[in-house]
Amino acid sequence: AGSGMSLKNGRSGKSSPGLSITARLILHFTVATVVILSVATGMLYRGLSKSLEERSSHYLRDEVNMLRAMLARSAGLREVAREIGLESGTLEYVAHYVRVLEQSGRVLLETPGMDRLIPISAFPQPTGEDKRYGEKAEWPAADGQTFILKALPTDGEESPDQYLLHVGLNATRKDAILD
């Protein structure tokens, strides 16, 4: 009646209770795809974040260099006032805010509206570690905006007068891109 071999479910020998080879291949392929895409997305996010941070730092550094050069000229405060918009009336959109203080802390000039958005106390105290470009800090304003702040003194070589510069860059758009 038989040759001593039995076939179960069309296979010889024991049947395995697990997934078929097709199902296992699909599962492995899906897991590998998710892992690869997750790693690639993380790397792209990190690269974009770093690039935006570097661009913000370069922008602030350029702004600081320009302000220092203006303050070194004889008409420095008038030139800075024109640059930050005090003489041009209202501003529709401002990406950066500038405040010029005397060494005593008295405000000489500032971008209109800066006093309500970024108080003096929000800025880091300038230290000797990075005197050329100042300390950098992030500060969340009460209205939900985020600012990258720098505070730095001008030194006597560039300007006959000593000033303290406060520069704030609105980084809200950068945060929105990354969220």
Q: Are the beta carbons of 5 and 14 closer than 8 angstroms?
A: no
The string of pLDDT tens digits covering residues 35-83 is 999 999 999 999 998 998 888 888 888 888 888 888 877 667 778 887 7
CA distance 179 to 176: 5
Beta-carbon contacts of 105 under 8 Å, excluding residues fewer than 6 positions away, are 120, 164
pLDDT in tens, 94-150: 578 889 888 888 999 888 888 888 899 888 877 665 555 566 788 888 788 888 888
pLDDT of residue 130: 53
Q: How far apart are CA 51 and CA 177, in angstroms?
A: 12
* Spatial distance between the Cα atoms of 140 and 6, rounded to a whole number of angstroms: 75
φ, ψ (nearest 5 deg) of residue 127: -120, 170
Say what the pTM is. 0.65
Distances in Å between the alpha carbon of 73 and those of 77, 109, 139, 152?
Answer: 9, 16, 32, 18
